[in-house]
Structure 1
Amino acid sequence: MKSITIPLTLLALLSVSAGQPRHQHAHHHKANRDFIPKGGKITITGTAYSTTTEIPEVVVYVDQNNKPIHTTTETVVYIPAPASTETRKLPAPSTSTVIAPPAPTKAMSSGAYTPPASSTSASSTSASSTSKHISTFEPIPSPRSSRATPTPSVSFVPSSVPSSVPSFPPPPPISSGSALHGVTYSPYKGSGGCKSASEVDADFALIAKDYGVMRLYGVDCNQIATAYAAAKKYGNKLFLGIYDINSVEQSVSAMAAGVKHDWSIVDTVSVGNELVNNGGATVDQSLGALSQARSALRAAGYQGPVVVVDTFVAMLSHPELCDQSDYCAVNVHPFFDPNTGPHQAGSFITSTVSKIRSKLSDSSKRIVVTETGWPWQGEANGAAVPGMGQQSTALSSIKNAYSDNARDLILFTAFNDMWKRPESGTFMAEQFWGMGGRYSPSDV
């Protein structure tokens, strides 16, 4: 087991994980994007291992004068650098340096972020935690703060690399059904900025072959055009979204221009995401936006499905959201049920879908799960425990439940969402739902 020496200033950067406040899983956008470093566990990018590898290391915390303060065992996650990005090599065999993510040049959020003050406040809603928040160290300055974020480094005490290290199980195999399942995708960098066309292309290059449909949520960041180009190149369909139901006409115009009126690539268009569940809109407002969007899309030449997306809680209470959609589009996250373990994820979803079906005016109507998955890092929610192995187990359970109708399943999410803010209400896990713990190349 190697020993790692970490300055106190770096620990502040490494001790934050993230989430979004809500009852069910909400997907927040531009106004809530903030720069949040990869955190919770110590993350190192380089070429030490060819696959994502998590191992315990002895960590020695020192002050700015290199004086030892505290020694403990922490979890270190080694992330292999993708071939498409500059490789940060770990010099062998004695010392290595990893540069922490730089401070952003501009704030994308309308408000400043303040990290948790202590480990107890960050984990008060959970019985156990896989993230560590150490209150004795200086917190990260807000992106709007005038204080400069230090540029620290990590030094390794000389030791040999272990001959055998544990590795995470690979993501479960793709369903053998008649179609591939889908996956959600966001065009935002961890710094909060928009991904360029080349960065979106690089993302699709990594994931396109594994998924049939790529689900987007909005039209900002020129994401329709960049995703359209990548989807055409790699052979995917797009599930587009009108995020702001007060801007339906503008969103439809942006969609039409983004896909160059080539609607054949569009699988579905959604109206809103969990708005009724989160109090962002009433049922009547959501249904009004659905009708408006359907009319505008038909006028623009799109003849495919138009749906309202909300949580299963909202759909059970208001089945008319399903009844008036072209099919029922529902987000179902087993992780937010404290009585459901990873191996029960698939049965939780199928049971929930059956309950929704019993509420519909047409019980034969198609129901698509438009978000589901499992985090690989964060705090435990009762029996729902995050972790790489747990994610693999949950995804296997979910895929097995949809082995015959994979096209009715969209997983959350393609890459870790490092642009999101941390919240104990979502068990400090919101950043870490990427399939197999995968980071986007633009965040490495």
Structure 2
Amino acid sequence: MRSTLLSLSLLSLLGLSAGQPRHQHQHLHRHRANRAPIAKRDKVTVTDSKYSTTTEVPEVVVYVDQNNNPIRTTTETVVYVPATVEIYEASTPTTEISPLSTKAAPVVESESSSYQTASPTTQQASSSQLVSSADSYPTSSKSASSSAASPSSSSGALHGVSYSPYKGNGECKTADEVDADFALIANDYGVMRLYGVDCDQVATAYAAAKKYGNKLFLGIYDITAVEDAVSTIAAGVQNDWDIVDTVSVGNELVNDGAATVDQSISAMNQTRSLLRSAGYEGPVVVVDTAVAILAHPELCDESDYCAINCHPFFDANTGPDAAGSFVTSTVSSIRSKLSDSSKRIVVTETGWPWQGESNGEAVPGLDQQSTALSSIKTAFASNASNVILFTAFNDMWKKAEAATFMAEQYWGMGGQYSPSDE
């Protein structure tokens, strides 16, 4: 299969559903657990005088929005039609849009700065607009062994990484697909952080973690359904609590105004009580942004340790080489606010995007991501287990937005795609 960038000139290529709110702050990022499905096209039609008959081949297509910012890379069936043959209408799949969602009008990248409107059910392009993208769009590494293996060192000596069980089209990953993901990353990270209990993710991640020797940082995203979530967690890990590193309650809810401080702490206390009754004796925490916790340190005081999300990319004055110092400085500021200054603080999200728009000195890119991650790892060299990197794979189920510098989907380690999205 060729790796190409398909350049088309049209405004209505696919429907997007927006599942993430706009951010209310500059330098911290909310990575929502809400999924934003992107419909896959049945076929993309290209006129090409070199072909004498209609020919279908798989191609890698890069979709971008109206500002020429990449939205996703995916494999599509490209239909090459002779220039003398009338273009037929390709079928368009139906995309479900949630009541809170809006449709965007993305386009496929054009080599020129002009755009032409085309029918949303007919996609056309000249084959002269096909250019190689092998150097610009990295693919997933397949070098990891798929055989069962434990991490090369204890999980406490390794950084953690966040993980989402959703495919690029918004569907849930199967147990086999989750296993394939873990096979690629298990040796590099001690703890895998999940955010919720939907998609049977606790059970599928448990099976993979058990196989490859990882621990799980589990999450209850909906704090209005704590009892059901705890039951799902207990069943998912088969009451094998030794594999659970932490259980979090909520993710940046106070920061986003989705819950009050009291509601978050109450949900955490309820969760802790239910988990203790189920046999789990490990940490239970509220996770929120550094900004929220600086304003409300009681979120940490009431948690079994202090859990913060801290993203240097969203500070316009921080370049990749200063990412580590930004995070450690933030941790120090939070520590000064705690009632117990010796309390453990874990950075439960931090990383750097490899693609998107620049935010002042914070510039995305593969080299920049490598520099930023190296800076963060160096800063936490003596306590690697206190950092969870964001994120294992590119999250193609998310929606690209100007508010997040069109980078929301591209935080995967080394630009890595999940095998289910290739």
Task: Name the structure 2 match of 1:28.
Answer: 32
Tell whether 2:115 aligns with 1:136: yes
Change (3 A) 1:333 1:438: same
Tell whether 2:290 aligns with 1:312: yes
Query: 1:152: how far off?
Result: 6.4
Change (3 A) 1:201 1:132: farther
2:413 counterpart letter in structure 1: M
The correspondence for 1:221, drawn from 199, 212, 219, is 199
CA distance in 2, matches of 1:375, 1:37: 24
CA distance in 2, matches of 1:419, 1:242: 20
CA contact (8 A) 2:71 2:399 kept: no
The correspondence for 1:281, drawn from 255, 259, 276, is 259
Task: Name the structure 2 match of 1:236.
Answer: 214
CA distance in 2, matches of 1:158, 1:12: 17
CA contact (8 A) 2:15 2:95 kept: no
The correspondence for 2:349, drawn from 364, 371, 386, is 371
Change (3 A) 1:138 1:241: farther
Task: Name the structure 1 match of 2:9.
Answer: 8
Which structure would you say has the larger RCO, counting Cα contacts within 8 Å and 6 or more residues apart?
A: 1
Tell whether 2:302 aligns with 1:302: no
The correspondence for 1:266, drawn from 241, 244, 252, is 244
The correspondence for 1:107, drawn from 96, 102, 109, is 96
Residue by residue, what CA displacement relative to the aligned partner does 1:379-409 show, whole Å, maximum 9, x if unpaired? Answer: 1111111111111110010111011111000
Change (3 A) 1:104 1:270: farther
1:21 counterpart letter in structure 2: R
1:34 counterpart letter in structure 2: P
Query: 1:296: how far off?
Result: 0.7
Task: Name the structure 2 match of 1:392.
Answer: 370
Change (3 A) 1:158 1:231: closer
CA contact (8 A) 2:13 2:123 kept: no
1:390 counterpart letter in structure 2: Q
Task: Name the structure 1 match of 2:413.
Answer: 435
2:37 counterpart letter in structure 1: D
Q: Aligned with 1:199: secondary structure?
A: helix
Change (3 A) 1:87 1:336: closer
Change (3 A) 1:255 1:271: same
Q: Aligned with 1:8: secondary structure?
A: coil
Q: Aligned with 1:329: secondary structure?
A: strand
CA distance in 1, matches of 2:293, 2:275: 24
1:107 counterpart letter in structure 2: E
Query: 1:6: how far off?
Result: 3.5
CA distance in 2, matches of 1:131, 1:413: 30
Residue by residue, what CA displacement relative to the aligned partner does 1:40-95 show, whole Å, maximum 9, x if unpaired? Answer: xxxxxxxxxxxxxxxxxxxxxx99687xxxxxxx999999x9xxxx999xxxxxxx
Task: Name the structure 2 match of 1:382.
Answer: 360
Change (3 A) 1:35 1:322: same
CA distance in 2, matches of 1:340, 1:281: 30
Change (3 A) 1:317 1:305: same
Query: 1:28: how far off?
Result: 1.9
CA distance in 2, matches of 1:354, 1:433: 25
2:115 counterpart letter in structure 1: T
Residue by residue, what CA displacement relative to the aligned partner does 1:221-252 show, whole Å, maximum 9, x if unpaired? Answer: 00000100111111110000000000000000
CA distance in 1, matches of 2:9, 2:200: 40
1:29 counterpart letter in structure 2: A
Task: Name the structure 1 match of 2:318.
Answer: 340
Q: Aligned with 2:336: secondary structure?
A: helix
TM-score (norm 2): 0.76
Deviates more, 1:208-217 or 1:175-184: 175-184
Residue by residue, what CA displacement relative to the aligned partner does 1:272-293 show, whole Å, maximum 9, x if unpaired? Answer: 0000000000001101111111
Unaligned runs of 5+ in 1: 39-61, 67-73, 89-101, 120-129, 142-146
CA distance in 2, matches of 1:5, 1:215: 35
Query: 1:15: how far off?
Result: 12
Residue by residue, what CA displacement relative to the aligned partner does 1:3-33 show, whole Å, maximum 9, x if unpaired? Answer: 9774435995699999862233222234x42
Residue by residue, what CA displacement relative to the aligned partner does 1:254-280 show, whole Å, maximum 9, x if unpaired? Answer: 000111111111000000000000000
Task: Name the structure 1 match of 2:157.
Answer: 179
2:340 counterpart letter in structure 1: D
Q: Aligned with 2:219: secondary structure?
A: strand
Query: 1:253: how far off?
Result: 0.3
How does 1:202-221 map onto structure 2 within 5 Å?
A: 202-221=180-199
CA distance in 1, matches of 2:328, 2:279: 35
Query: 1:412: how far off?
Result: 0.4
Q: Aligned with 2:208: secondary structure?
A: helix
CA distance in 1, matches of 2:20, 2:228: 30
Task: Name the structure 2 match of 1:249.
Answer: 227
CA contact (8 A) 2:17 2:399 kept: no
Query: 1:435: how far off?
Result: 0.5
2:22 counterpart letter in structure 1: P
